Amino acid sequence: MSTDTRLGRVRTELRNLLILATPIIIAQLAHTAMGFVDTLMAGRVSPQDLAAVALGNSIWVPVFLLMTGILLATTPKVAQRFGAGEEAEIGPLVRQALWLAVAVGGSAAALLWNAEFILRTMNIDPQLITPAMGYLRAVACGFPAVALYHVLRCFSDGLGHTRPAMVLGILGLLLNIPANYIFIYGKFGLPAMGGVGCGWATALVMGFMLIGMLVWVKWAPYYRASALFTHFEWPRWTVIKRLLSIGVPIGIAVFAESSIFAVIALLIGGLGATVVAGHQIALNFSSMVFMIPYSLAMAATVRVGQALGRGQPREARFAAGVSMAAALGYACISASLMFLLREQIAQIYTPDKTVIAVAATLIVYAALFQFSDAIQVTAAGALRGYQDTRITMLLTLFAYWGIGLPVGYALGLSDLFGEPSGPSGLWQGLVVGLTCAAAMLTVRLARSARKRIRRAA
């Protein structure tokens, strides 16, 4: 194959990837921007309100990612059926995924409602527990709705229609801003709730997005071939079990990464509101930056899954490689900007100079792990397209919990390597864990691709 032909293939695949990924990127940025708005508006009330929202986020966000990770099994299964031209089988599959969402969403909501023991176990400042729990219980009310929304979104993404999530994400963000203002400051006869009001605004947006996706899927013509709403079905354990066999490892792997950040927030909870606030700023901004490689990973799942459904394993491997190269290119840009503008970024969130200093220091470490984070998340997304999730889960657990967290704890909170460095040491552990994850998942992806090609041959 000539160089021009190779470059043409790369350009074509990159264009197809970006066509899928761009709406996902906008949707994910809109979703993450809701957290940015919550953090910004709560921080303007008081450091205590910001700290309460930060602690609440450190619990509900990992639970949310575990829940949606389980439901992500819908995407590769829909993508492969669509690639194989088996659209009539998609509707029954998604109906069972919706039943799974009811169970998973309800369980996650119950966990958040009773999460006070987690805060008390971690010796959080008692003055922060009450507002943090108020915030958590408000968010919990929206979890069943957002679980159903995510199944419908995975269904749409798997078909290659990513625009609905983008439009609804933007509308949700636009609703979140005035809802925050109303609930936080007590407008239209409502009491002023402070940081707790952010939770009620989030729950309201979750319900709105479910209604919007239901309307879109019901009336858009490109969903009709799947016949999702033509009739009612009771739960079928055999189908749900297959979804769980793919989804549970995805959920655990996503949870393993996100919970590391949550555990760090809880570990530094005893160091005072200033340190917690600085950590939250660095985490919130790095989460926003992370949404682009995460979106590329979601698009990679679709591209790989549809290629495998068409019986083209070499095209699947090529799609995975282009996705990883695109994510790495983006990481070069994001890391440079974060390092150069770290103080200006922190100043967006708060005028407090002490908090700015803490946040700016941690943003440096966030810039360092942009490369490994982009590689590992994109490799994981491609592996989901292969429905290779169990080994991915084990590798992720080992990298984050077996390497990253122990190294971070040793550097930040123990005297094993000298004077404890506090939050900086914990974030250094993140760099180590993400780097190990990137290396192991890249090797696993290469092996999975080769195995599928040999099987086809």
Q: According to the model, what pLDDT value does residue 399 have?
A: 92
Q: How far apart are CA 360 and CA 366, in angstroms?
A: 10
Q: Is there a domain that residue 281 lies in?
A: yes
Q: Is there a domain that residue 231 lies in?
A: yes
* Residues 216 and 314 reside in one and the same domain: no
* Residues 225 and 317 reside in one and the same domain: no
Question: Considering 191, 214, 235, which residue would you say is the last residue of a domain?
Answer: 235
Q: According to the model, what pLDDT value does residue 99 have?
A: 94
Residue among 260, 267, 167 nearest 216 (CA): 167
* Residues 209 and 67 reside in one and the same domain: yes
Q: Is there a domain that residue 161 lies in?
A: yes
User: Who wins on pLDDT, 104 or 413?
Assistant: 104
Question: Considering 235, 264, 288, which residue would you say is the last residue of a domain?
Answer: 235
* Residues 34 and 162 reside in one and the same domain: yes
Tell me: the pLDDT tens digits for 91-142? 888 899 999 999 999 999 999 998 877 777 766 667 777 778 888 888 999 9
* Residues 228 and 286 reside in one and the same domain: no
Q: Is there a domain that residue 78 lies in?
A: yes
What pLDDT band is residue 192 in, cutting at 50, 70 and 90? low
* Residues 221 and 281 reside in one and the same domain: no
* Residues 16 and 142 reside in one and the same domain: yes
Q: Which of 57-71, 390-404, 432-446 has the lowest mean pLDDT?
A: 57-71
DSSP secondary structure string for all residues of 326-340: HHHHHHHHHHHHHHH
Q: Which residues constitute the domain of residue 221?
A: 7-235
Residue among 37, 20, 440, 63 nearest 255 (CA): 63
Q: Is there a domain that residue 1 lies in?
A: no
The residue-averaged pLDDT of 271-280 equals 76
- φ/ψ of 424, rounded to 5, equals -60, -45
* Residues 220 and 363 reside in one and the same domain: no
Q: Is there a domain that residue 240 lies in?
A: no
Tell me: pLDDT of 58 over 80.
Answer: no
Q: Is there a domain that residue 241 lies in?
A: no
pLDDT > 90 fraction of the chain, expressed in percent and rounded: 26
Tell me: pLDDT of 154 over 80.
Answer: yes
Q: According to the model, what pLDDT value does residue 349 have?
A: 80
Predicted structure pTM score: 0.81
Q: How far apart are CA 356 and CA 274, in angstroms?
A: 9
Tell me: pLDDT of 1 over 60.
Answer: no
Q: How far apart are CA 52 and CA 58, in angstroms?
A: 10
* Residues 388 and 354 reside in one and the same domain: yes
* Residues 88 and 209 reside in one and the same domain: yes
Q: Is there a domain that residue 23 lies in?
A: yes
Tell me: pLDDT of 24 over 80.
Answer: yes
Task: Give the chain's domain count.
Answer: 2
Question: Considering 235, 259, 277, which residue would you say is the last residue of a domain?
Answer: 235
* Residues 194 and 271 reside in one and the same domain: no
Tell me: the pLDDT tens digits for 306-354? 889 888 889 999 999 999 999 999 999 999 998 898 888 888 887 778 8
Tell me, rounded to whole angstroms, the distance of Cα 41 from its chain centroid.
Answer: 22
* Residues 168 and 280 reside in one and the same domain: no
Give the CA count within 13 Å in the CB-facing half-sphere of 98. Answer: 18
